[in-house]
Chain A
Amino acid sequence: MRWSEEQIWETARLLGLDPYPTEFHVVPAHVLYAVAASGIPGHYSHWSQGKNYWQHMLRHQHHMGRIYEMVLNANPSMAFLLDTNSDVITCMVMAHVLAHVDFFRHNRAFTGSERRMPEMAVLRAERIRHYEERYGVDVVETFLDAVRTVELHVDAAGYHPDLTEDPTPDPAPYDDLLAVERPAPERRRPDYTERRRKAGLPCADVLGFLIAEAPLDDWQRDVADIVREDGLYYQPYVRTKVVNEGWASFWHSEILRRLDLTDGEWTEYARVNAGVVGAHPGAINPYWLGLQILRDVERRFGRERLFEVRRLETDATLVRNYLTRNLVEELHLIRYGPVEDKVVVTEDKWETIRDAIANEFAAKLPEIVVADRDHDGQGGLLLEHRHDGRPLLLRDVEKVLEQLQRIWRRPVHLRTVHDEELVILSHDGKEAQRRSVAVKAG
């Protein structure tokens, strides 16, 4: 490459970035897409990752889009870069990655996140493989399919497994020959026998609640706990997509500006950059919105303020604090929605638009809580959707309930508001039901 890794590091540090040490892996597409599909290298296998991988590879092969990099929140961090990128694009991607790693390290949302995720993921994948061997691939897969439906409905504060020493595992036949050093912390596994006390309701940690109170075998609790750990790991990503991508896009251009690019390289960089940070009509490209807001912050308050934003803001607070009237108008942001067979502008007041965007980012996913552990007198679980004006996709709700009742082994219900009516959806393992509840939604 024309620029050394040190040169990019040096420039980044000079500009004030402070990332964790980062290992760059330049890899072929099939590796990058496999890692991107599972989110973490060494992650346990799942068909959904295979589907994701397959679709990305197809798109890549047909030149319908590519992933340039994949970076992990970890210390040391790991980043995977596509080996077919040109020098200038590799350089841009490295700069982008370093800014991400700086963000992971310093943003408040990532405080307390698992920085040894790659090692953990490998050990957890090994445990899942062990369960697959013992109980069958299909059995484990069916269970994973069920718990993954609520992977992101977890709450670090909602559920604290009591950690005790893992009992010494039975020696495997070749253990004496293959003495593998395991990191000590992973030997501490949650002690599920202690967790019979009941969680307070309502409980936002849906998966944590199921782990604690559903009739599960120990291996199932362990698998569910692995999925929950993934969910906790991904949560800050979800909450900081805009500010994080804006931050990384801001700095890759700052860093490249300080390198000696030829005209041809500038042109190539500008073309790729425009694709990454360009506006998506009808939607919000997080790279675009994040970059636009950060640029505006710099214009109005100076560069120092950017570092404060990087430390404190999530997407919701970034929008609430920094999306001004001028920006809303300059970026042509509107609210729109369906009215009968038409799509029309539903809002043109800038404050309302700002607040709507902030609320959407504050709750990217529907807020679901466990409301009752015996709703129907048959031990049925009641979930409640905290309605914020956005309706749920009911067809998918039914599919999720069907999966959840496999875990709960009794009917599972969800209460939500649909068409201004209070509705309860249920699944008892045989069929899904919807019924309106007489009481008007309050």
Chain B
Amino acid sequence: MSDPVWDLFRRGQIDMERHHRLVREAVQKRLADLVGHHDITQGGRIVIPVRELREYRFQFDSEESEQTGTIHRDPREPLMARERPRKGDLLGYRRRYRGGPGQGSGDAGDDHEEGVYEVAIGVEDVEAALFAGLELPNLHRRALGDVTTTDYLMKDIRRRGAMSNLDKRRTALENIRRNAAAGQPHFGGLVDDDLRFRTPEVVHLPQHRVAVVFVRDRSGSMNDEKKRLTRVLAFWIRRFLQHKYGQVAETAFVLFDYAAEEVGEEHFFHRSEGGGTRVSTGLELAQRIIRSRFPAEIYNLYMFLFSDGDNWSDEDNRLSRRIAEQILADCNLLGYAEMDPRDPQQLVQLQQAARKAGEDRWSSLGHVLQEISSPAFSAVRVRGQEDVTTALQTWFSRRDQKEAM
């Protein structure tokens, strides 16, 4: 019925996209907060409220004002005299009334609900925002060319080939191009000359593999929150390596307290024991695993150590540092996460103490490990969910020099 030219009218669409882009930007700003969110790393979706974008104007507070209106649905139907409203008649109750007797209502205007969009966020959304800011440290270049595999990729386009490999899009394009050259830009009248075929090409791909070794302190001081944060960090590390290398990283999990053992993934994130801590045992076992299973010639190796830094002795701290330095020779990145989640009750005291000391308080292990000069070593402190993003950004950044954290 309407003129078909209106189909080209995209103005509403354009303005709408602008609005949606602003909403997305508002969501983006909040994604960093969601990186540490447990449900996200469990593959679930969480729904976050995003405040409706609206234009602010000087306006009356209708909730607080008197209003005028009709009280009858059908005004033609006469009200009986007794139904005629009188001053003081009760009409209903306020939905959002929060004040009570004696309570000032000076902020009554703030009680209004703002419109809220509910945006479901999944791991892909967070990932897209998070990974955009991350890079592989790019420190050791593995001798990638040494070990190669042979593969066939459909890279080449030729005029002859098997019909099953016909590239329809390019064929159509050639056809239209030929017709256009003859002054008739349309599709039709296919001839053999138009046909294009995808053709396999032999490629030699450098073979590289990725491995990541997670080492975690399982001493009694590693409480549930520390374990949860470890799990979230490990989730994003593996996901990021997979994203960058296009393959799932091979993994090994080491738990240690006074002694170390290799465990399966299912135990790694949950188990804790009582007892003391010797970080060096964990690193030693990790080093053995690396030497036997992840030779540096083939593997891009990543290793992460999670501990609250509460080590047995300073001597063991120094031993740990020496082992770490040996591992670093073969390692793209050795990340140390000092798990120090804030305890809300102690928070104030801790902050005061930190302010007095004039610095963040690293553990003695943290101090010793930071003497490592290799740029492939990187230490972060994880005090809460909001530090997860910072930790990942610190580890996975392009750098040539060691950066102080």
Contact of B75 among A33, A330, A353 (CB under 8 A): A330
CA distance A356 to B68 in the complex (A): 8
Q: A344-B90, A391-B64, A400-B57 are in contact. Are A279 and B9 (CB under 8 A)?
A: no
Q: Are A148 and B74 in contact (CB under 8 A)?
A: no
Which of B18, B60, B73 is within 8 Å of A281, CB to CB? B73
Residue in chain A with minimal CB distance to B61: A393
Q: Provide the bound-state CA to CA distance between A79 and B89, in Å.
A: 45
B347 within 8 A of A: no
Nearest chain A residue, comparing its CB with the CB of B19: A50
Q: How far is the CB of A37 from chain B (nearest CB, A)?
A: 6
Cβ of A397 to closest chain B Cβ, rounded Å: 6
Provide the main secondary structure of the chain A interface.
mixed
Chain A, residue nearest B76 (CB): A330
Known contacts A34-B9, A37-B12, A344-B88; A282/B18 CB under 8 A = no
- Provide the bound-state CA to CA distance between A331 and B72, in Å: 8
Distance between Cα atoms of A46 and B11 in the complex (Å): 11
Q: B69 near A: Cβ within 8 Å?
A: yes
B7 → A minimal CB distance (Å): 7
Is A365 engaged at the interface, CB distance under 8 Å to the other chain? yes
Does A51 interact with chain B (Cβ within 8 Å)? yes
Q: Is the CB of A333 within 8 A of B68?
A: yes
Q: Residue B93 contacts which of A54, A343, A399 (CB distance < 8 angstroms)? A: A343
Distance in Å from the Cβ of A83 to the closest Cβ of chain B? 4
User: Of A57, A284, A343, A348, which is within 8 A of B92 by CB?
Assistant: A343
**CB distance A393 to B15 under 8 Å?**
no
B349: chain A residues at CB < 8 Å are none
Give the B-binding residues of A (Cβ under 8 A).
25-28, 30-31, 33-34, 37-38, 45-51, 53-54, 57, 83-84, 145, 148-150, 152-153, 279-284, 288, 292, 329-338, 340-348, 353, 356-357, 360, 365-366, 368, 385, 389-397, 399-400, 403, 418-419
Alpha-carbon distance A366/B63, docked complex (angstroms): 15
A337→B55 contact, CB < 8 A:
no
Q: A83-B2, A344-B90 given as contacts; is B75 within 8 A of A418 (CB)?
A: no
Q: How far is the CB of A399 from chain B (nearest CB, A)?
A: 4
10 contacts between A and B (CB under 8 A): A47-B18, A50-B15, A53-B16, A332-B72, A336-B69, A336-B71, A343-B90, A347-B66, A366-B59, A394-B107
Q: Is B91 in contact with chain A by the CB < 8 A criterion?
A: yes
The chain A residue with its CB closest to the CB of B89 is A345
Q: Bound state CA distance, A157 and B87, in angstroms?
A: 41
Q: Residues of B contacting A360 with CB < 8 Å? A: 68
Nearest-neighbour CB distance to chain A for B396, whole angstroms, equals: 29
Q: Which residue from chain B places its CB closest to the CB of A151 in the assembled complex?
A: B57
Return chain B residues, CB-CB under 8 Å to A30. Answer: 9, 12-13
B105 contacts partner chain A, Cβ-Cβ < 8 Å: yes
CA of A396 to CA of B57 in the docked complex: distance in angstroms?
6
Instruction: Report whether A53 and B87 are in contact in the complex, using a CB–CB cutoff of 8 Å.
Output: no
Interchain CB contact under 8 A, A37 and B56 = no
In whole angstroms, what is the CA distance A344 to B89 when docked? 5
Inter-chain contacts of A342 with B (CB < 8 A)? 90-94
* C-alpha gap A336/B3 in the complex (Å): 49
Query: Among the listed A280, A345, A366, A396, which residue makes an inter-chain contact with B86, where contact means beta carbons less than 8 Å apart?
Result: A345
* Contacts A50-B20, A399-B56 given; does A279 touch B66 at CB 8 Å: no
Chain B residue nearest to A85 in the complex (CB): B1
B203 at the interface (CB under 8 A from A): no
**A333 to B70, Cβ gap below 8 A?**
yes
Residues of B within 8 A of A418 (CB): 106
Contact A283 B64 (CB under 8 A): no
- Tell me if B14 counts as interface (CB < 8 A to partner A): yes
B99 nearest CB across to chain A (Å)? 8
Known: A26-B1, A392-B59. A51 touches B19 (CB 8 A): yes
B110 within 8 A of A: yes
A22 to chain B minimum Cβ distance, whole angstroms, is: 17
B58 touches A341 (CB 8 A): no
Contacts of B70 in A (CB 8 A): 279-284, 288, 331-334
Contact between A53 and B86 (Cβ–Cβ < 8 Å)? no
Q: Of A45, A333, A341, A346, which contacts B87 at CB under 8 A?
A: A346
Residues of A within 8 A of B100 (CB): 340
Inter-subunit contact A336/B66 (CB<8 Å): yes
Complex interface: chain B residues within 8 A of A419 (CB) = 104-106
Measured CB to CB, the closest approach of chain B to A31, in angstroms, equals: 5
Q: Which of B56, B70, B72, B84 has the most CB of A within 10 A?
A: B70
Does B275 belong to the interface (CB within 8 Å)?
no
Closest beta carbon of chain B to A41's beta carbon, Å: 8
| Cα A397 to Cα B112 with chains together (Å) | 14
Q: Is B97 an interface residue (CB 8 A)?
A: yes
Nearest Cβ in chain B — how far from A351, in angstroms? 13
- Report chain B residues within 8 Å CB of A346: 66, 87
In the bound assembly, the distance between CA atoms of A4 and B84 in angstroms comes to: 48
> What A residues does B6 contact at CB under 8 A?
27-28, 31
Q: Give chain B interface residues in 103-160, CB to chain A under 8 Å.
A: 104-107, 109-110, 112
Shortest Cβ-Cβ A-B pairs, 9 listed: A34-B12, A50-B15, A50-B19, A337-B66, A399-B56, A83-B2, A394-B109, A50-B16, A53-B12
A330 to chain B, nearest CB (A): 7
Closest-by-CB residue of A relative to B111 is A395
Q: How far apart sit A289 and B55, CA to CA, in the bound complex (Å)?
A: 29
A365 to chain B, nearest CB (A): 7
Is B67 interfacial (CB-CB < 8 Å)? yes
Report B96 CB to chain A, min CB distance, Å. Answer: 10
Q: Is the CB of B57 within 8 A of A149?
A: yes
Decide: B55 and A279 in contact? CB cutoff 8 A: no
Nearest chain B residue, comparing its CB with the CB of A393 = B61
Q: Which of A31, A292, A340 counts the most chain B CB atoms within 10 A?
A: A31
Residue of B whose beta carbon sits closest to that of A41: B11
* Residues in A neighbouring B20, C-beta threshold 8 A: 50, 54
Given contacts A27-B6, A50-B15, contact A392 B85 (CB under 8 A): no
Residues of A contacting B75 in the complex (Cβ-Cβ under 8 angstroms): 279, 292, 330-332
Contacts of B15 in A (CB 8 A): 34, 37-38, 45-47, 49-50, 53
User: Which residues on A sit within 8 Å (CB–CB) of B93?
Assistant: 341-343
Nearest chain B residue, comparing its CB with the CB of A359? B68
Chain A CB within 8 A of B292 CB:
no
Given contacts A30-B12, A282-B71, A419-B105, contact A50 B18 (CB under 8 A): yes
User: Are B110 and A343 neighbours in the complex by a CB distance under 8 Å?
Assistant: no
Residues of A within 8 A of B74 (CB): 279
Contact B2 A47 (CB under 8 A): no
A27-B2 in contact given A50-B16, A337-B65 (Cβ < 8 Å): yes
C-alpha gap A333/B63 in the complex (Å): 19
B22 touching A392, Cβ below 8 Å: no
With A31-B9, A149-B55, A345-B86 already in contact, 15 other A-B pairs whose C-beta atoms are closer than 8 Å: A26-B2, A57-B12, A149-B56, A149-B57, A279-B74, A334-B70, A336-B71, A344-B90, A345-B85, A345-B91, A348-B84, A356-B68, A385-B58, A394-B110, A400-B56
CA distance A407 to B7 in the complex (A): 39
B224 interface residue (CB < 8 Å to A): no
Tell me, yes or no, whether B79 is within 8 Å of chain A by CB: yes
Q: Which residues of A contact B354 (CB under 8 A)?
A: none
